[in-house]
Chain A
Amino acid sequence: MTAMPDARPPAPIRTEALEALLTERGLVNADAINGLINRFVNDVGPMNGAKVVARAWTDPDYKERLLTDGTAAVGEFGFSGPQGEHIVVVENQEDMHNVVVCTLCSCYPWPLLGLPPDWYKDPAYRSRIVREPRTVLNEMGLALDDSVDITVWDSSAENRYFILPQRPAGTEELSEDELAALVTREAMVGVAQVGAPG
């Protein structure tokens, strides 16, 4: 049982002590930790998910595989690893917008999007997006027409949801790479849509 935060010394110091004790026991080493941090700071991020979206927009067979078995389809790109299991891809439609939350903690498809942004982990987002999705999306800059229904997907250890946004109009001539450059992390969580280029 851990003491409550306000009774505890500063987190940076506690983290340092924890790492020193675990290192002393031979359970971790600084190089391995540096490597893991480096991977998630530099190598894994929303650009992975954007590539998946662009492929799904341009290759109907791939899209079908993606919607059927998300984990296997993103694995075709080599995207896998912690929190990459049980990826479920949900497609936005003209009349149905989807948005993702993890109400209990911060489950999130790391191999596709990197680590979650602050707002995704915020207690208010976690509770409010379920109760009043239209209002919260509005506050985040996404005004949906009243005719568009909203489905909120609660990620967990069992299912990590990933949104396949709608391809914007006027992008018929764009290459897969050019399309990928349009796709934002926010669109893949469902708090934004993908805008047309320019």
Chain B
Amino acid sequence: MTDTTALLGELPADGPAAPPRSNGELVFAAPWEGRAFGLMLALTEQGVFTLSDFQAALINSIARWDELQRPVEEYHYYECWLAALETLVVEKTPVTNPEIDALTSHYLTRPAGHDHDHDHDHDHHH
């Protein structure tokens, strides 16, 4: 995990006092952060949960990281964001944790460079 997240570089190692940057910086350090952000907003627009629900979940997720991960792992804001999103999705939609885990594992086994967008259905049908 650290390999991937380190590459994504959400925060510099010497983080806290890293100088403010220009206004033109990238909003998302990696494409998946944008997807996680957009998924959250899309679900609030659909009324699946509210922005307040999400903020509460994000606060919990960050607090949990503070408690458990802080001593051992670099902070990754969008990891906390994604954990909060998963929690709410499982709570508020028919999507289940085992489903998410199964599809994630399936994606992990696909060959590199394989174009995979939303193709997991094929496994059920072929």
Give chain B residues whose Cβ lies under 8 Å from the Cβ of A143: none
Q: Kindly supply a per-residue 1/0 record for chain A positions 100-132, scoring 1 wherever the CB is within 8 Å of any chain B CB and 0 otherwise.
A: 000011110000001101110111110010000
Contact B46 A104 (CB under 8 A): no
Which A residues between 2 and 21 are near B, CB-CB below 8 angstroms? 2, 4-6, 8-21
Chain A proximity mask over B51-71: 1 for CB below 8 Å, otherwise 0: 110010011011111101110
Give the complex CA separation of A99 and B1 in angstroms: 35
With the chains together, A144 CA to B38 CA distance in Å?
Answer: 39
Residue numbers in B under 8 Å from A17 (CB-CB) = 100, 103-104, 107
Instruction: Give the chain A neighbours of B87 by CB distance below 8 A.
Output: 1-2
Question: Considering the chains assembled together, what is the distance between the CA atoms of A146 and B67 in angstroms?
Answer: 35
Cβ A128 vs Cβ B103 within 8 A: no
- Asked if B23 and A45 sit within 8 Å, CB to CB, the answer is yes
**Interface membership of A169, Cβ < 8 A:** no
Complex: A141 Cα to B79 Cα, angstroms = 29
Contact size range, B: 35 or more
Chain B: interface secondary structure?
Answer: helix
Give min CB distance, B28 to chain A, whole Å.
7
* CB <8 Å contact, B28 and A41: yes
- Nearest B residue to A114 via CB reads B27
Q: Which partner residue on chain A sits nearest B3 by CB separation?
A: A10
Contacts of A40 in B (CB 8 A): 27, 37
The smallest C-beta distance from B13 to any residue of chain A, in angstroms, reads 11
Which residue of chain B has the shortest Cβ distance to A118 in the bound complex? B11
Contact (Cβ within 8 A) A11 B4: yes
Cβ contacts under 8 Å, B20 to chain A: 117, 119, 140-141, 185-186, 191-192
Closest B residue to A5 by beta carbon equals: B79
CA distance A99 to B55 in the complex (A): 21
| A33 close to B45 (CB less than 8 A) | no
Q: Are B104 and A14 in contact (CB under 8 A)?
A: yes
B99 to chain A, nearest CB (A): 6
Say yes or no for B16: interface residue by CB 8 A criterion: yes
| Complex contact A124–B95 (CB within 8 A) | no
Interface string of B16-38 (1 = CB under 8 A from A): 11111101010111111011111
CB distance from B73 to the nearest CB of A (A): 6
With known contacts A2-B83, A41-B27, A136–B17 Cβ distance under 8 A: yes
**A6-B73, A21-B95, A141-B19 given as contacts; is B46 within 8 A of A16 (CB)?**
no
Q: Would you mind naming 7 contact pairs between A and B with Cβ atoms under 8 Å apart?
A: A5-B65, A9-B104, A14-B82, A21-B95, A104-B59, A105-B55, A122-B16
If A16-B32, A46-B23 are given as contacts, then 20 extra A-B residue pairs at C-beta distance below 8 Å, sorted by A number, are A4-B64, A4-B69, A8-B1, A12-B31, A14-B100, A18-B39, A21-B100, A22-B39, A24-B118, A33-B35, A36-B37, A40-B27, A41-B28, A114-B27, A115-B27, A118-B77, A119-B21, A125-B16, A125-B17, A140-B19
Top 9 A-B pairs, shortest CB-CB distance: A124-B16, A33-B38, A12-B32, A139-B17, A17-B103, A10-B4, A186-B20, A37-B38, A17-B104
